[in-house]
């Protein structure tokens, strides 16, 4: 029967549920034993890949142009007419496999994950999940529509990033205030959207029998290797060890600018990270961005470089910023094609280079994993995914120079590497703000239903973790920073993953300092394991350890600061 399924997701796209359901029925009614389980899993995986890739392609289309109402409608229709019944059918297949008592080789962790999913699955939550996805596209629409008038032309807020890197402080301030004013105009709309999302998530938790959404979400993310309380330990370690180092970064920036205090217009992305001084403009065209990235990836590893070349040839990159495009960047898996797709918003600055290297790491993770026979084995954790991406940023850093086919002269490459390492120090405190905010939200949901209390909590956390910037007179812009963090609205609790993964990535990088080729081999081996290992086992395979106490953090902060000092010395 399964040999009648289409070979590509594009052919499957127009199938309705009446045509798809018999394939699920066949799997549900077929005998399952040691002799049939391999073929059963293969057929289930084939069907699941088609369902998943169609969803992914339709979702991608809504981000490429948030004003394309037809694309949004196709996506919403698919959610309701295909995704909803498929989720229920998928759950029944998981229950069938679990009830069989079978333990296929290489399926230990997928079975563990299925048990967790079976424990929390509620059919009543399926339409709520659909509605949550719809509200996510509304968030993208609101943010994607934000533009300002600058120098006589309409610009997206992303296109204003180069202006925020200007050497003229008055220009930066004017641009920053204009952007802040535009963002605040959407404050009522985002507050209203937030209240709807919070209500949906609280209802999902209640339906699953949990006291709060955090507990539900922990199981949804299959976080077996650390607890919410461990996150609080991580926050405390960041406050103790990283915040002083981050404050030193801000002080260096203040001294470099020769100003009395560092103001938000002295920073750019997320109002956290100082731009490089002098500014770095690594490319003028998207083709230049892409071709030099391919050169760098080939220097890291020739086969990884070829993976990226395949993406170029098959047009699996959408990298330029334009009006109506959704914010941010991501890598999406096209499961049937066994290909990644990279989306981002490039405007010609160094952050674009870092983003492409980062998303390239995600893409390589997928392409190293697809050799595993069953799609269920591809489902690695978010922490593992981010080790793949953040490690690639660091593994690529020695090859940023023009001598390696990259973007920069030797001095500019040193500036870029300093910029990157300083951003790691500044990221952890910002990550702690985002993560601690979400822990508060979902354990104090009555209070979090009031956007004013969300503002107050965000503001308090900001003062705790990011004390090095003067926001006097800009309080409204500061306390509404949670509006600007896509993850809070669209991917709740997906942010600590970045912080934990950075610990793994820095250990990969530390190994590469003494043996780049060996570190890359370990890195690729870890990626190839897909979702068949725990987080500690994955970290070990990549050449590190899964630990986030103050002692571990202190070692890594020392490594970063010593490296920054060496790079400064090379510039002297």
pLDDT tens by residue, 79-113: 999 999 999 999 999 999 999 999 998 999 999 99
DSSP state of 376: G
**534-569: per-residue pLDDT in tens?**
999 999 999 999 999 999 999 999 999 999 999 998
Q: For the residues 222-249, what does the mean pLDDT come to?
A: 97
CB under 8 Å to 221, separation ≥6 — which residues? 381, 382, 493, 494
Q: Is residue 147 part of a domain?
A: no
C-alpha 86/C-alpha 454 separation (Å) is 36
CB under 8 Å to 532, separation ≥6 — which residues? 106, 108, 109, 110, 372, 377
Bridge partners (DSSP) of residue 10 are: none
Angle between helices 516-528 and 350-369 in degrees, nearest 10: 60
C-alpha 262/C-alpha 283 separation (Å) is 28
pLDDT at 49: 97
pLDDT at 1: 85
C-alpha 421/C-alpha 423 separation (Å) is 5
| pLDDT band (50, 70, 90) for residue 270 | confident
Give the strands of the sheet with 339-346, arranged side by side. 317-320, 339-346, 330-334
Share of the chain above pLDDT 70, in %: 100
| pLDDT band (50, 70, 90) for residue 407 | very high
C-alpha 61/C-alpha 70 separation (Å) is 10
Q: For the residues 112-121, what does the mean pLDDT come to?
A: 92
DSSP state of 82: I
- Is the CA virtual torsion 275, 279, 281, 282 positive or negative? negative
Q: For the residues 168-196, what does the mean pLDDT come to?
A: 97
The pTM assigned to this predicted structure is: 0.92
Interior/surface letters 87-125, b for 16+ CB within 10 angstroms, e for the rest:
bebbbebbbbbeeeebebebbebbbebbebbeebbeeeb
pLDDT at 253: 93
Q: Is residue 500 part of a domain?
A: no
pLDDT at 263 over 90: yes
Count of structural domains within the chain: 1
The phi, psi pair for 156, rounded to 5°, reads -70, 160
Q: Is residue 40 part of a domain?
A: yes
C-alpha 106/C-alpha 99 separation (Å) is 18
Question: How much is the CA Rg of the chain, to the nearest whole Å?
Answer: 24
| pLDDT band (50, 70, 90) for residue 276 | confident
pLDDT averaged over every residue in the chain: 96
Q: Is residue 209 part of a domain?
A: no
Nearest Cα to 471, choosing from 262, 184, 185, 269?
262
The C-alpha angle 555, 557, 561, rounded to 5 degrees, equals: 120
- Is the CA virtual torsion 283, 289, 293, 294 positive or negative? negative
Share of the chain above pLDDT 90, in %: 94
C-alpha 330/C-alpha 268 separation (Å) is 20
DSSP state of 325: P
C-alpha 239/C-alpha 470 separation (Å) is 19
Please say whether the beta carbons of 340 and 309 come within 8 A: no
The kind and range of the H/E element at 320 are strand 317-320
pLDDT at 277 over 80: no
Nearest Cα to 386, choosing from 494, 511, 225?
494
Write the Ramachandran bin of 152: left for phi over 0, alpha for psi from -120 to 50, otherwise beta.
left
Q: Is residue 170 part of a domain?
A: no
C-alpha 461/C-alpha 329 separation (Å) is 26
pLDDT at 17 over 80: yes
pLDDT at 421: 97
C-alpha 396/C-alpha 393 separation (Å) is 5
CB atoms within 10 A of CB 83: 22
pLDDT at 391 over 80: yes
pLDDT at 187 over 90: yes
How distant, in Å, are the alpha carbons of 30, 66, 321 from that of 144?
Answer: 47, 7, 10
Angle between helices 451-465 and 410-443 in degrees, nearest 10: 130
**18-65: per-residue pLDDT in tens?**
999 999 999 999 999 999 999 999 999 999 999 999 999 999 999 999
- Contacts for 161-164: CB closer than 8 Å, 24+ residues apart: 161/268, 161/269, 161/347, 161/349, 161/351, 162/279, 162/281, 162/347, 162/348, 162/349, 164/265, 164/267, 164/268, 164/275
pLDDT at 185 over 90: yes
Query: If you write DSSP's letter for every residue of 254-283 in order, what string do you get?
Result: HHHHT-SS--GGG--GGGT-PPPSS-----
C-alpha 363/C-alpha 303 separation (Å) is 13
C-alpha 401/C-alpha 551 separation (Å) is 34
Write the Ramachandran bin of 209: left for phi over 0, alpha for psi from -120 to 50, otherwise beta.
left
pLDDT at 570: 84
Q: Is residue 462 part of a domain?
A: no
pLDDT at 275: 82
Q: For the residues 130-142, what does the mean pLDDT come to?
A: 94
pLDDT at 269 over 90: no
CB under 8 Å to 37, separation ≥6 — which residues? 100, 102, 104
Nearest Cα to 196, choosing from 138, 140, 120?
138
**469-522: per-residue pLDDT in tens?**
999 999 999 999 999 999 999 999 999 999 999 999 999 999 999 999 999 999
Query: If you write DSSP's letter for every residue of 428-469 in order, what string do you get?
Result: HHHHHHHHHHHHHHHHSHHHHTSHHHHHHHHHHHHHHH-TTS
Q: For the residues 290-295, what does the mean pLDDT come to?
A: 98
Bridge partners (DSSP) of residue 317 are: 342
CB atoms within 10 A of CB 294: 20
**416-460: per-residue pLDDT in tens?**
999 999 999 999 999 999 999 999 999 999 999 999 999 999 999
C-alpha 425/C-alpha 246 separation (Å) is 5
Q: Is residue 21 part of a domain?
A: yes
pLDDT at 250 over 80: yes
Please say whether the beta carbons of 160 and 148 come within 8 A: yes
Nearest Cα to 391, choosing from 524, 267, 218, 492?
524
Q: Is residue 307 part of a domain?
A: no
Domain range holding 84?
2-104
């Amino acid at each position: 029967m399964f040999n009648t399924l289409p070979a590509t997701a594009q052919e499957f796209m127009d199938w309705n549920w009446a045509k798809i359901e018999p394939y699920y029925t066949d799997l549900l009614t077929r005998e399952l034993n040691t002799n049939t389980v391999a073929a059963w899993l293969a057929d289930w995986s084939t069907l699941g890949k088609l369902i998943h890739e169609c969803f992914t392609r339709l979702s991608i289309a809504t981000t490429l142009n948030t004003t394309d109402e037809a694309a949004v409608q196709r996506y919403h229709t698919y959610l309701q007419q295909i995704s909803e019944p498929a989720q229920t059918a998928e759950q029944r297949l998981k229950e069938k496999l679990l009830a069989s008592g079978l333990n296929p080789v290489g399926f230990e962790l997928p079975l563990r994950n299925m048990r967790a999913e079976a424990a929390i699955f509620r059919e009543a939550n399926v339409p709520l999940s659909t509605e949550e996805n719809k509200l996510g596209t509304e968030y993208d629409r609101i943010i994607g529509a934000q533009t300002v008038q600058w120098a006589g032309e309409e610009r997206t807020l992303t296109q204003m990033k180069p202006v925020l890197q200007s050497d003229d402080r008055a220009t930066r301030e004017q641009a920053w205030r204009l952007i802040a004013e535009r963002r605040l105009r959407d404050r009522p709309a985002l507050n209203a959207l937030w209240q709807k999302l919070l209500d949906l998530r609280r209802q999902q938790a209640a339906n699953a029998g949990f006291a709060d959404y955090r507990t539900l979400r922990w199981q949804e993310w299959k976080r077996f290797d650390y607890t919410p309380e461990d996150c609080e330990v991580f926050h405390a370690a960041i406050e103790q060890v990283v915040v002083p180092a981050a404050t030193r970064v801000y002080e260096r920036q203040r001294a470099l600018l020769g100003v009395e205090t560092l103001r938000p217009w002295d920073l750019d992305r997320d109002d956290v990270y100082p731009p490089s001084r002098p500014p770095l403009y690594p490319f003028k065209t998207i083709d230049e961005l892409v071709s030099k990235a391919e050169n760098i990836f080939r220097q890291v590893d020739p086969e990884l470089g070829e993976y990226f070349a395949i993406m170029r040839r098959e047009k699996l990159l959408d990298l330029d910023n334009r009006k109506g495009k959704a914010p941010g960047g991501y890598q999406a898996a096209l499961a049937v094609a066994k290909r990644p797709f990279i989306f981002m918003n490039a405007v010609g600055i160094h952050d674009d280079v870092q983003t492409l290297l980062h998303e390239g790491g995600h893409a390589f993770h997928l392409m190293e994993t697809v050799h595993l026979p069953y799609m269920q084995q591809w489902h690695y954790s978010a922490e593992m995914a981010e080790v793949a991406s953040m490690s690639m940023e660091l593994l690529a850093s020695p090859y940023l120079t023009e001598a390696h086919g990259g973007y920069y002269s030797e001095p500019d490459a040193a500036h870029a590497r300093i910029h990157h390492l300083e951003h790691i120090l500044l990221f952890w405190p910002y990550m702690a703000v985002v993560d601690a905010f979400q822990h508060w939200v979902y354990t104090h949901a009555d209070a979090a239903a009031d956007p004013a209390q969300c503002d107050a909590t965000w503001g308090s956390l900001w003062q705790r973790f990011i004390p090095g910037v003067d926001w006097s007179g800009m309080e409204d812009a500061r306390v509404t920073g949670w509006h600007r963090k896509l993850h809070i609205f669209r991917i709740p609790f997906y942010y600590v993953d970045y912080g934990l993964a950075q610990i793994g990535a820095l250990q990969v990088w530390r190994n590469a300092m003494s043996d780049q080729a060996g570190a890359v081999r370990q890195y690729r081996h870890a990626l190839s394991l897909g979702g068949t290992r725990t987080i500690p086992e994955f970290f070990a395979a990549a050449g590190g350890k899964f630990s986030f106490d103050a002692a571990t953090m202190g070692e890594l902060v020392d490594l970063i600061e010593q490296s920054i000092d060496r790079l400064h010395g090379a510039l002297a």
